[in-house]
Chain A
Amino acid sequence: MPAQTIIEKLLSRHIGHMVYQGETHTFPVDFILTNDASGPLSLQYLEEMEIREIPYPDRILMVIDHYVPCPDAAVAKLQQQLYDFAARHPVGLIPAGEGIAHQVSDELGYLKPGTLAIGGDSHTTTYGYLNCAGIGMGASDVAMAMAQGELWLMVPETLLVEFTGSLKPGISGKEVALFLVSQLGAERANYCAVEFTGSGLTALSMDDRRVICNMLAECNVKCALMPWDDVAEEYGQLRGIESKGAVAADKGCSYREIIKVDLSSIDWLVALPHSPYQVAELASLGDMPIDMVLLGTCTNGRLADFVAAHRLLQDWGGAFRVETILVPASRQIYLELIASRLAADFLQAGAMVLPPSCGPCCGSSPGVPRNGFKVVSTANRNFLGRMGNTTAGIYLASPLVATAAALTGRLVKPLAGGWQV
C-alpha cells in the first residue's frame, strides 16, 4: 500500500480501508461542534430535513460563546432554540460564560489524537494541535453530520511545513502564525491539510501550536495537523488524554509542497487592515499611534498569553494608556487570572475584563471600536467592519505586542528584561 499522510491515515482508520487524496467518501464523525452563531441555522436545516432522531447525541457539543452575555431579545430567541434542542436530545450544551468552544472542548475532554471533528465555526482547525482533524463547516453540513453521524469529505492533498531553529526571545506562536498566513495566503493551501514536522517543533509549546492551527483557517485549509510528539505527550499525560489514536505520517508519503521555515528568522509581525495576509514587520511601522487594544479570543486568550502580558506590565510599570479589553478564553482561565492576582493587576492598570466568550472579535459581543480607531487585537481576523465598525482598522499582533501598544498607545517593540530568559 502506498505511504500515507496524516490526514489520509486518519480518514482511512475512520472508514476501515485505505483512502488517498482526491477520493471522496462518507466518513463517520467523532465530534460535532456548534455554537450560538451557526447552531440555530443548523437546527433549522434539521427541521427542514424532517430529522427527528439524532443517532449520536453524545458526540455533539453546543457552546453559547458568540453573543455573551445575551445582548437582546432577538438573540435570546435564537439561543433558546439550542436549549430547546438540548432538552429533547441528550447533547452537550455549554451555557454562556463558560468559554469559547475551541477552548472548552479540550477542557471538557472531547478531543484526543486521531479525532475527526467538524465544527460550525471556521476556527475548528485549532484542534490540530492535539493531532485532531478539525474541519470548519457551514450550518447545513453540521446538520447533516448531526442527522447521520457521518459526512462526505474529499480526502485533501497535504502541504508539509518543516520548522527548524528556535524562536527569538519574545517571539511567539502568533508571529509564526502571521508569518505562515502571509506566506500561504488564500490560495497556496486552499482545500489542503497542512502537516507540521521538523526539529523546530520541540521549541513550540502546545499554546503556540494552538495559535498556528487556529490562524491557518485564514488560509482556507481543510485542517491543520501537528504530530503527537514528546511535547504533546507531556501535555496529554498532564491532562489525562488518551494518546493511542495518535496518527503519524508514513515515510515517503506524497506532499503537494514542502515549506521550510527557520523559526529564528521570524521577528515581531503585525497584520495590517483589512487583511490577515498583509503582514509587516513591527519595526517598519514607525511607532504608529493606536487607540484600542483587544487581548484574548480563541487565538490568544489563554493563561500563558496573559502571563506574558502581565510580565511586560510589571516590567514597564504604569497603566494602560488606551482602551484595553481583556477576554479570557474560558472560565477556568478567568479563575486562574483571579487566583494568580493577574486580573487585579490588569484592572488596576485600567483594563476591562469581559466574560469568557468570543468577545468583540467579530462584533458579536460588546466592545465595538469608535470611529476611525486603530485597534491592536490578538484575534485572528481583521476584515473591514470585523469588530462592528467599518471605519476602524484592526492590526493583528501577539499578546506582547498588544500589551506594549496598550501601555504606550503606540505600536512599539515590547522590549523588556522581565520576560527575556
Chain B
Amino acid sequence: MNELTFTGTAFSFGDNINTDYLISSRRKRDSINPEELKSYIMEDIRPTFFTELGGEAAIIVAGSNFGCGSAMEVAAQILVVNHIQVVLAKSFARSFFRNCINNGVLPLIADTDGIKEGDALQVALSSREIKLTNVSRRTTQSYPPLGGTVQEILAAGGLVAYMHRSVT
C-alpha cells in the first residue's frame, strides 16, 4: 500500500458523541444527500461548527465512544463532504467504525489528551504503521496499521471504489 497522508486542523469534542449529533434524524427526513445536509453537522451540540470549518480540511479529536447510537451511515458521509477525513478518538462505537472505513474516513483509536483545539495535525498511513504528528506541538505517536481488507477498503477511498477495483 502506498503511503496515505491526511492533514487538518483539530476540532475538539468530548465523550459519547452519537450519530444523532453528527446529523439529526429529523434532517434525514428531507434528504439523504450529504451535500444538502452538510451544514447541519453537529448542529444540536455545536451550532457554529459548520461555519467554523469554513470548508477547510479538519480532523475531529474526541474522547471515548465516538459515533455511538444509530448505525445510520449519513453520519459518516457528512464528515466526508465537510473535508473531515480523519477522526481521532479514545474509542469508537463498532458500527460507526465500519461506516467510516466504508466511506474512506480513517477512524483512529488514539491518545487524544495532549491535542488541543486548533492544533495542526498530520496522519500518515503506511503498511507498517499509522503515524500521528501534532505539527503545532512537535509530537508524534505511532499506532499499528489497519489489517487486510479494512486497509484495502480505506486505501481505495471507500467501499464503492473498492468494489469497482476488485471487479476490474
Contact = CB atoms under 8 A, between A and B. Distances in A.
Given A71-B29, A74-B30, A388-B26, A24 B94 contact: no
A59 interface: no
B68 A41 contact: no
Interface stretch (A138-146, A199-207, A321-329): A138-146
A38 interface: yes
Interface stretch (A44-52, A238-246, A260-268, A413-421): A44-52
A191 B73 CA distance: 18
Given A45-B160, A190-B93, A152 B149 contact: yes
Interface string A365-398: 0000000000000000101111010100000000
B25 interface: yes
Contact of A140 (B28, B44, B65, B102): B102
A376 to B, nearest CB: 20
B95 A187 contact: no
8 contacts: A24-B147, A24-B148, A74-B31, A138-B96, A186-B93, A190-B92, A191-B94, A384-B20
A87 B45 CA distance: 41
Contact of B29 (A45, A143, A364, A386): A364
A362 B71 contact: no
A186 B29 contact: no
A384 B44 contact: yes
Interface in A129-147: 136-141, 143-144, 147
B45 A138 contact: no
- The SS class assigned to the A binding surface is loop
Interface residues of A, number: 49
B72 A37 contact: yes
Nearest to B147: A24
A152 B153 CA distance: 11
Contacts of B134: none
Given A45-B159, A138-B76, A140-B159, A186 B94 contact: no
A122 B29 contact: no
Interface residue tally of chain B, by bracket?
35 or more
Given A144-B159, A385-B20, A187 B65 contact: yes
Kindly name the residue among B96, B148, B163 whose own CB sees the greatest number of chain A CB atoms within 10 A.
Answer: B163
Given A49-B160, A186-B93, A383 B69 contact: yes
B74 interface: yes
A22 to B, nearest CB: 10
Contact of B163 (A24, A144, A384): A144
A143 B102 CA distance: 11
B68 A186 contact: yes
A277 B164 CA distance: 41
Given A75-B29, A186-B64, A363-B25, 14 more contacts: A38-B71, A40-B32, A136-B71, A140-B99, A140-B160, A186-B91, A187-B64, A190-B92, A190-B93, A362-B20, A362-B25, A364-B26, A384-B20, A385-B24
A120 interface: yes
Contact of A139 (B25, B73, B91): B73
A392 B85 CA distance: 33
B93 A140 contact: no
Contacts of B30: 74
A218 B71 CA distance: 11
Contacts of B69: 122, 218, 381, 383
B44 A187 contact: no
Contacts of B158: 140
B148 A275 contact: no
| 5 A-B pairs with the lowest CB-CB distances in the bound complex, closest first | A186-B65, A138-B99, A138-B73, A140-B102, A139-B73
Contacts of B25: 37, 362-364, 386, 388
A220 B94 contact: yes
A3 B45 CA distance: 47
Interface in A214-233: 218, 220-222
B112 to A, nearest CB: 15
A49 B164 contact: yes
A175 interface: no
Contacts of B142: none
Contacts of A104: none
B122 interface: no
Contacts of A186: 16, 64-65, 68, 91, 93
B73 A38 contact: yes
Nearest to A358: B25
A47 to B, nearest CB: 9
A222 B135 CA distance: 36
B98 interface: yes
A380 to B, nearest CB: 10
Contacts of B24: 363, 385
B106 to A, nearest CB: 16
B118 to A, nearest CB: 25
B45 A140 contact: no
B143 to A, nearest CB: 17
A136 B29 contact: no
A206 B40 CA distance: 40
A137 to B, nearest CB: 6
